[in-house]
Structure 1
Amino acid sequence: MDADLETYQVQLSQVDLAISSDPDNAELVSLRSELKELVELTKSAIAAQAEAASSKAESSSSSRKKDASAPTHSWSAGDECLAKYSSDGQWYPARITSVGGSADNRVYSVVFKGYNSTELVKSSEIKSMPANHAFVTPVSNKRKLTKAEEEEREKKKKKNEKKVEAKAAKAKEQTAKQATWQKFAKKSEKKGVHIAGVAGTSIFKTPDNPLGRVGVTGSGKGMTEVATQAKHKFASRDEDNL
């Protein structure tokens, strides 16, 4: 359109030049009038086109800013959502258990309802759950156990249960013995019977002499006497009598 305007302006200048030589030429005067009108119309069209382009650019820029400023959904652990199941690519109700990754590339750990395995999904694989969404349990891709495998698993389960019961019974027995001993010690203490090792004293006792031997409290014997070491003296003898 700019090229058309330039052409009209050149033609108008040529007509003006011709009219200056022949001002009474009605045909040239009419042509000049038409060219002036075309020039004005073209200028108006160019201005309108520029205004429309500017308005469109502003609208597009505003839309981009709005999209950029619009807050994205912030997910956190415990939120209910719809997540894409990797086995079939379908969306199922799930619960977010943890959030990881960077701010630009979030990774969510989810557990599908009715399916206890955990799966990692990206931001594009998670969305809000609609109010009228029908609950559908995802189909597991795990292999079904054979009858023999089921029986073996049941045996292991019962064996582990017996081990747990045995450990619990042993711990209970040990606790009962400990309680009985503590009860006996308290009764003895009330009766004035001193039991070494119960009232915070040791059953072993040593004399003041660091070289003394250890004695046992309540054994009925005194402390072991410390023997004094002395050099043995040999008696002199008459060699002639031998």
Structure 2
Amino acid sequence: MDQADLETYQVQLSQVELALSADPDNAELAHLRSELKELIDLTKTALAQAEVASNTKAESSRKTTSATPAHTWSAGDECLAKYSGDGTWYPARITGVGGSAENRIYTVIFKGYNSTEQAKSSDLKPLPPNYHQTAASNKRKLTQQEEDEREKKKKKNEKKLETRAAKAKEQNAKQASWQKFAKKAEKKGVQIAGVSGTSIFKTPDNPLGKVGVTGSGRGMTEVTPMGKHKFAATDDET
């Protein structure tokens, strides 16, 4: 029963009384009027009791709230924060604390997102014990800006991979071309150091041999010995 029901009963009673004024001896209308009056009295009593109960509950809640100290938050704490975009609570981490002691302002970052927001104490509450299980179902949808940013990063990474693949392909082509050239040179009797299995630093099989350029046919470069300079005496010094 509510106030709307009470008003409906009162309208019906007025209609019945109007009908009785035209037909006072109608027993059925008289009985209906009696029932409506009784129903109206019961509704008024129920509404009064509900109002008293509501006031008592509100007073009890107010006392409980005033008796419970406000939660103290610090940077690094995990909590549930209300997202201004849709008014829903999501897991977040506090990254900064500002404002005055009476009006704290917290900077929070939502888990799984790069967006940060400024929140009041009323926009924060402790994490529930089972929030790890419910976090996935409460994950909010990305905004259009966040979707665009994610897509942009994805395309950028794909472009990097394509560039690396193209460079690797080019390098492989150059390597294959060089190996092909080396094989042709080897068939013609030209030995290329480092390709045909020889090295310019390889020690010759001949114990009297010297290390030199493989296949050059020339000996080691002669080195001119260095000596001390001798000054010749002049007539001025005698």
Report TM bin, short chain: 0.3 to 0.5
Using the size of structure 2 for normalisation, the TM-score is 0.33
Larger Rg: 1
- TM-score normalised by structure 1 residue count: 0.33
